[in-house]
Structure 1
């Protein structure tokens, strides 16, 4: 019989990380619109529900109807508009942004339509003066099967519409706050799979509702100045995945460090006060040979301390990864390039967030910490002779034969 030896390192840390999962276990909200036809009057499209933004196919139809079928009693409706891929056009003075948001429209529902046009329709929500390019709204949906966007004004360029079943109060809802790093990497650039799709592939019960919130040139001071707007338009999610600091740390000095730390603490406190859990990425490294500067280590230490002091889940290490892979940065040495840079960001976010879902899977079944770890190891590494569970920057990982795996068994 095969001999397996398990070395559990820092068991108190294991319990501390798992305790976050038990207290905040993510509950699923099933995607119910994926791949369904979107009816725009005389035509139908499939690109509005395919889960991708970078096919650059958009709709400016004033009516868009989707039949998700009966079943859900409540839906979360997310939409993404194009513009220049910035979430908002007027939050920063550092550079100009443009685009027409889906500003004034109604969401209607029907129980008896056959084609998105006929039948009886009732108003489920009325959205007025919306200024942002990605947002989600919850609606009542009991006994309904269709929902429809109805607008009389300019709708801009709509890239994607998603509907999630919120009947049981799902909490798998995410807003990706960020700078131009996220504007480009998370929304603008092509990827083999989005963070949400990668999470779903590993944890099939989950289909994260993901809103892109990157804004080129924005810094933490401007985020704080616009916190009320962030909370108004992205405050109904349960998680903020935050990439912030490149513009604060620009040039490689630390003169702005105290302001950055204070601003980030304000963002964390505001999020928590509204029931939102922040997950903060380590600031992306530059290619210093091209950019002429590198992120000051003091900023990285500050991010690590903010995460630890506030008891937050650990975000992705953009610094470490892109420091080792400068070929994934653009010609300016700062931004992810279109040849794999954005794709890497999606994968790094999925790697960092995946343990939260592993905990969520088991927490719902009442498993204890030891069972979680032992079952994960047994399932993913059944042929191992020795596995070491390690802790680094509040992340647990499995080390086997010199390779590192997260607790879902995926190498990183």
Structure 2
């Protein structure tokens, strides 16, 4: 009976947990409740390759659990996690393949295609051979990451049970598997849709990922982040597939980052790009989620550069027409100012450029989505007052000496936290001190 209740409850969990956008654009742009990772380094078990089980939930996304279909599993003992933090969970796995098997550059790289999510109420400590209950079954999966909401009340164990890889009944899979606490709502889950620039920039297994950078800004948060990038595709492909993608995404924020391939040789046309993007924005809103729209990145390659500002003008138009849209980073201005972030083809960022894009994504979204507006601007350490201690904390953070601060440091309002914000904070403190002396 417990199994039936769990499965039935999960069917309605998404609607109950997802906080929909409201009529007020400002009120929609807030992460109400953190969804922290609760599976980091808990005891992990696997049948075929147990030596790599701990790589599935360690701190490093460049290490992976390697499981073998058709009967391998990755199981976690969550009994050591406080029960209040695991009433409802989001079980998410990540792989490095292209997000979906569309387009000429799609690939499948040791990707789970058939599997079950299973739970167990056994006591923690020893892996239970019996008592596993299936709460979700997936067949024919073509995506490189998936999230699954589970009513976990009364359970201690969860496992990902692999029965197919890359569309075959046998083979080796390669995944990271995280469990997040979403008992109070799914407020911190992201899907980054886009082309090869998104695929390279938002992968969390190379360098430092969006979630890690965000966590350095504010240790309360560690976002769920699916990389929805697929090389070579255009906004037309996005429009043709977004409804299907949204059906499997229970989270809140969806970034729509197409346009480089559309503009390359003006193959789509700015008006059609606008219509495609409006369709995707509306689809996200209709699904009760919040769309995020960055600018198309600057390129030195003439085939892109000659047309991309026409396309970016359409993004400005959408910002005006849809106040619910959160503006993403202005990668046109950023890469135009820093062409050294581009690779030799003049279109795709180099490895350092991709790393900068992830950092800028985190800083921009922290300023526009996460920041606690109840705190005064400049209250870097979150103590409720703006003082010299805040300037010291911000300076240490900028020097990468202290990543623990809760930053409300975007004083210039440009979506990026840098030395200009530190200079403005010092100016404000100096003026405050002068006014105090005069008074």
CA contact (8 A) 2:100 2:106 kept: no
CA contact (8 A) 2:295 2:328 kept: yes
Following the alignment from structure 1 to structure 2, what is the Cα–Cα distance between the partners of residues 343 and 232? 30
Following the alignment from structure 1 to structure 2, what is the Cα–Cα distance between the partners of residues 314 and 292? 22
Determine helix, strand or coil for the equivalent of 1:226.
Answer: helix
Following the alignment from structure 1 to structure 2, what is the Cα–Cα distance between the partners of residues 331 and 337? 8
Corresponding position: 1:346 with 2:361: no
CA contact (8 A) 2:67 2:162 kept: no
Superposition map of 1:12-411 within 5 A = 20-26=25-31, 27-41=33-47, 43-44=50-51, 45-55=53-63, 58-60=66-68, 62-69=72-79, 70=81, 71=83, 72-82=86-96, 85-90=97-102, 92=103, 94-99=104-109, 101-112=111-122, 114-154=125-165, 156-187=172-203, 190-191=206-207, 193-234=208-249, 236-251=250-265, 253=266, 256-288=269-301, 293-311=305-323, 312-338=325-351, 340-359=352-371, 361-362=372-373, 367=374, 372-373=376-377, 375=379, 378=386, 380-381=390-391, 390=412, 400=420
Residue-by-residue CA offset, 1:93-134 (whole Å, 9 max, x unaligned): x44534453122111111225343435222222222221111
CA contact (8 A) 2:56 2:64 kept: no
Q: Give the number of the structure with larger relative contact order, counting CA–CA contacts within 8 Å between residues 6 or more apart.
A: 1
Residue-by-residue CA offset, 1:23-67 (whole Å, 9 max, x unaligned): 442121121012334311262432212354434774446211012
Q: Which runs of 5+ in 2 are unaligned?
A: 1-23, 166-170, 395-408, 426-439
Aligned residues: 366
CA contact (8 A) 2:197 2:231 kept: yes
Q: Which one has the bigger helix percentage? A: 2
CA contact (8 A) 1:183 1:212 kept: yes
CA contact (8 A) 1:389 1:399 kept: no
Q: 1:389 to 1:132 in 2, by over 3 A?
A: closer
Q: 1:375 to 1:106 in 2, by over 3 A?
A: same
CA contact (8 A) 1:77 1:161 kept: yes
TM-score normalized by the length of structure 1:
0.79
Q: 1:378 to 1:255 in 2, by over 3 A?
A: same
TM-score normalized by the length of structure 2:
0.74
CA contact (8 A) 2:297 2:335 kept: yes
Q: Which runs of 5+ in 1 are unaligned?
A: 1-18, 406-412
What's the C-alpha RMSD, in Å, of the aligned pairs? 3.1
